[in-house]
């Protein structure tokens, strides 16, 4: 995936920290969103809602494609070019029975591969999870379908992927920090020529996150 600034199809990905909740403006919510906020009883979920909507209010323009997600008190927003659909997912790493979940949710080949990756198993588990969540959003399919039909493997240091679509696609998985995984998927003709910008807010600043994988098809 190109990252030069001359590339015509710019994709921007932001992460908002908990401080963004202080910049949230409830007056900008739609009636449906305002009703949703009033029904959120969990303080954690209310805080994540405020962070994600503050980020949306700060960044979102009339772009043709956008996707919003949150996890662990943080939020992420991806904005893409016309002629594409986009999906983003963010996951805070937590202690889990990664291999047991992989045996249930991933393909046999993926689960067997993770079983052999003892040193990186947790981080690779999350790389696959956020990738499949982002793909599901970009393709407009359910998560279960994406978990079963999107296959991602790394063999001899090389990643390969299969997606249930004939459209052009691109997928990037990043690790903003050691306990956080993020994926952005773009589907459509624009996916073949992407320039990716990554930023954090507030305050807004360009950042470089560790790259886990970049694939296209």
- Show the domains of the chain with their CATH numbers: 9-216 (3.90.470.20)
Asked whether 129 and 102 are in contact (CB, 8 A), the reply is: no
Residue in the block written with tokens 């963010």: 90
Instruction: Check pLDDT > 70 for residue 124.
Output: yes
pLDDT grade, residue 1 (50/70/90)?
very low
Structure tokens at 8: 């015509």
Alpha-carbon gap, residue 67 to 137, rounded angstroms:
8
| Range list of H helices, 62-188 | 98-105, 108-116, 121-139, 143-149
Least confident residue range of 6-15, 34-43, 68-77 = 6-15
pTM attached to this predicted model: 0.93
Instruction: Check pLDDT > 80 for residue 4.
Output: no
Asked whether 84 and 187 are in contact (CB, 8 A), the reply is: yes
Asked whether 212 and 30 are in contact (CB, 8 A), the reply is: no
Q: How many alpha carbons fall within 13 Å on the CB side of residue 20?
A: 30
What is the share, in percent, of the chain residues with pLDDT greater than 90? 85
Asked whether 24 and 51 are in contact (CB, 8 A), the reply is: yes
Mean pLDDT to the nearest integer, 102-126: 95
């Amino acid at each position: 995936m190109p990252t030069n600034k001359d590339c015509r199809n710019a994709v921007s990905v932001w992460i908002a920290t908990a401080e963004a909740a202080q910049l949230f403006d409830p007056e900008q919510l739609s009636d449906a969103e305002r009703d949703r906020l009033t029904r959120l009883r969990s303080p954690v979920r209310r805080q994540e809602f405020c962070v994600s909507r503050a980020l949306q209010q700060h960044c979102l323009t009339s772009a043709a494609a956008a996707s919003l997600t949150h996890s662990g008190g943080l939020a992420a927003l991806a904005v893409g070019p016309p002629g594409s659909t986009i999906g983003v997912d963010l996951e805070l790493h937590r202690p889990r029975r990664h291999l047991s979940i992989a045996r249930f949710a991933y393909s046999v080949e993926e689960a067997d591969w993770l079983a052999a990756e003892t040193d990186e198993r947790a981080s690779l588990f999350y790389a696959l999870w956020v990738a499949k969540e982002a793909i599901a959003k970009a393709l407009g399919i359910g998560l279960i379908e994406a978990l079963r039909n999107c296959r991602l493997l790394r063999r001899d240091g090389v990643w390969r992927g299969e997606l249930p679509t004939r459209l052009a696609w691109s997928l990037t998985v990043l690790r903003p920090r050691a306990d956080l995984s993020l994926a952005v998927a773009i589907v459509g003709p624009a996916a073949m020529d992407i320039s990716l910008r990554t930023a954090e807010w507030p305050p807004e600043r360009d950042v470089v996150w560790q790259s886990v994988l970049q694939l296209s098809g």
